[in-house]
Amino acid sequence: MSRYLDLLEASITRRGGRLCVGIDPDPAHLPAAFSQGEEGLRRWCELLISATADHAAAYKVNLAFFEAYGSGGMRVAESIRTLLPSDTPLIIDVKRGDIGSTVAAQARALYDVLGADAVTANPYLGIGALEPLLVREDRFVYLLCRTSNPEAPEFQELRVAADGSAPEEALYLRVARLAAARPEARAGRIGLVAGATAATAMARLREVAPNAPLLVPGIGAQGGDLAAVLAHGETTGTPSARVGGSLLVNVGRGISGSETDGRYTHPIGRPFGRVSVRSTERAEHRTWRTHPHSRRDPCGLRPRQTSGDWRRGGSIIPRVPQGDLRGG
């Protein structure tokens, strides 16, 4: 394996689940006390991390939400690594990709300044252009393959012509095929991003890249199907060919963004014991419970239907004095 996959596998075992907690501080979903400026942002991150640290096998920072706060937001982003347990991997979700000299600068920014163990990257400029991100033996790249958004098929599902040993297939499968064939993939340094909202695509992807570690966003606010992810997302290669951390399921707004009216009406007593999730596309309201890793539910997440209003279903915020929540 590789440093990152060893780290991730150990963390999954320790936390008892494949849950990746998304740190996506969208001001539209934060209470007013946290959405105003750098200090509120910092306190929100600290609360989210302290409330979820016992359950998160990894954290995924969506850097755009920090960038939107300007350089003050980037100062907070620079402190995230120190706020996390040292043995919990930090993924920085930035979907970068550029010509080589620029990617080298991106590698410094993400790996060295922000302390990312892994990043997400976009293949459109060619996987080889990402070399400065891929070459670091102690880091890892999740390459965008089939993303979770409704506009993804426009290019990702285009049929591309057969070429050499590759058959005619969808573009996202060609991305997976070429990624899986690279030496960095065999060395355990390339994974794929495969959205939970495209379960059929995930099954096909596993035929092309049976051993690739997957990062799966789209559960929760985006309406992805966790059962399908669990059915199709695991590695299908021979056990000896498998690399660790084969499936990591990210939940972002589903945990942190379940509140929009500026007040937490039902702060939960047990941090992240119950998290309300609004599934916007299906108009369903679900409650997720964390529980120990098991064969039947390797994510450590178990969905069940609830009849309650998602706004009242609790939040990631642990029980703290009201004054603290309202403080600036």
Residues of this chain that bind a second copy (CB under 8 A):
24, 26, 62, 64-65, 67-72, 74-75, 77-78, 95-103, 105-106, 108-109, 113, 122-129, 144, 147-156, 158-161, 163, 168, 171, 174-175, 178, 222, 253
What minimum distance in Å lies between the beta carbon of 215 and a second copy? 14
For a second copy, the closer CB: 72 or 237:
72
Cβ-proximal residues to 9 (8 Å cutoff; 6+ apart), any chain: 1, 244, 245
Q: Are 267 and 317 in contact (CB under 8 A)?
A: yes
β-strand 19-23 against 140-146: which pairing, if any? Answer: unpaired
Is 95 annotated as catalytic? yes
Considering the complex, state which of residue 7 and residue 130 has its C-beta at the smaller distance from a second copy: 130
- CB 42 to a second copy: min, Å: 13
Q: Which of 42, 55, 60, 95 is catalytic?
A: 95
CB nearer to a second copy: pick between 108 and 319: 108
Which among 147, 166, 143, 165 is positioned nearest to 156, based on CA atoms? 147
Q: Give the burial string for 199-210 (b: 16+ CB within 10 Å, else e).
A: bebbebbbebbb
DSSP state of 163: B
Closest approach, Cβ 209 to a second copy, in A, equals 16
Least distance from a second copy to the Cβ atom of residue 254, Å: 13
Residues in CB range of 147: below 8 A, 6 or more apart:
156, 193, 195, 217
Residue 300 dihedral angles phi and psi, to the nearest 5°: 70, 25
Nearer to a second copy, 105 or 135 (CB): 105
Provide the minimum distance between the beta carbon of 270 and a second copy in the complex, in angstroms, as a whole number: 28
Q: Give the residue with the Cβ less far from a second copy, 39 or 324.
A: 39
Burial (0-12, 13-18, 19+ Cβ within 10 Å), 27 = middle
- Residues with catalytic annotation? 95
